[in-house]
Amino acid sequence: MFDLLKNHPFAVEAFFKKSLVITIAVPKDELIRFLPPCLTLDVFNDRWAFLAVAVVQTESLRPKGLPRFFGNDFILTGYRIFTRFTMPDGRRLRGLYILRSETNLKKMEILGSIFTRYRYQTTDIVFSQEGNALTVHSESSALHISANAVSVAKLPEGSPFSSWKEARRFAGPLPFTFSWIPDQRKVLVIEGVREDWEPIPVEVDAFHSGVIDQLGCNDMVVASGFLVRDIPYYWKKGKLVPWEQKEK
């Protein structure tokens, strides 16, 4: 029964006060080892795969349909890989595979551990904004981000993208999130729904993540940064999809 609860048994809604996403380009051969067998990397120019660190100031997160006062306000940090999954009917879905999730509230770690497979941990995350300047800091997670929502932002030096239009494809949120359940040979697919999602390019002045460092990947480079503000969002009830490895 407890395991069934982790499969997103009901729809969830929230309000994103602000969401900052920093995308990291990684040579695809360095990142493939972190994926379960059911997923493939979403690659760019047949060379780069992508990690994203998303920091979200979330308000009134609650089961969909309940009044806002039942919700919880918290900060979420998600560490994700951009991936693809092929459904049994042949459809190819773009989505995210969660490596780790962090929150500033123990309550959200407990609830997230009961109702999701997103590997929640509590940390001392602080997400602040002063004018156009955005700062993320966590001593425990060794996460430090400084970004600026200037009117004409420049891509980070060394980014594989030649334009913000290219970068936008790997900014998120993608339509789906995937979790692999190996003992059942099933994939848990969660679909997110949002409206008026217009990310603003931001200049990334500084970035360091202890969680990303621990992956031990070589030749990583900050690829882009995007910000969104004041967006309603909800996730549909999870769907379990059987998976069988195809003969090569």
pLDDT recorded at residue 2: 63
Placement of tokens 């993208």 in the chain: 161
Yes or no: domain 2-242 corresponds to CATH 3.40.190.10 = no
pLDDT recorded at residue 183: 93
pLDDT recorded at residue 237: 95
pLDDT recorded at residue 59: 95
Tell me how far apart the alpha carbons of residues 10 and 30 are, in angstroms, rounded to a whole number: 35
Q: Are 75 and 61 in contact (CB under 8 A)?
A: no
**Residues 6 or more apart whose Cβ sits within 8 Å of residue 143:** 53, 77, 123, 125, 136, 137, 208, 209, 210, 211
Got the DSSP string for 37-61?
Answer: TT-EE--BTTTEEEEEEEEEEEEEE
Mean pLDDT by 10 residues, the chain (248 residues): 82 95 97 97 97 96 92 95 96 96 94 91 96 96 96 94 95 89 95 87 97 96 96 94 79
pLDDT recorded at residue 56: 96
pLDDT recorded at residue 129: 94
Tell me how far apart the alpha carbons of residues 170 and 231 are, in angstroms, rounded to a whole number: 19
CA torsion angle for 73, 99, 31, 205 (degrees, to 10)?
Answer: 30
Q: What angle do CA 235, 237, 243 make, to 5 degrees?
A: 110
Burial code of 53-65, b = ≥16 C-beta within 10 A, e = fewer? bbbbbbbbbeeee
Burial code of 6-19, b = ≥16 C-beta within 10 A, e = fewer? bbbeebbbbbbbbb
pLDDT recorded at residue 151: 84
β-strand partners of 69: none
pLDDT recorded at residue 171: 87
Structure-block tokens of residue 243: 């998976």
**Continuous segment of H or E residues that includes residue 229:** strand 221-235
CA torsion angle for 26, 28, 29, 35 (degrees, to 10)?
Answer: 100
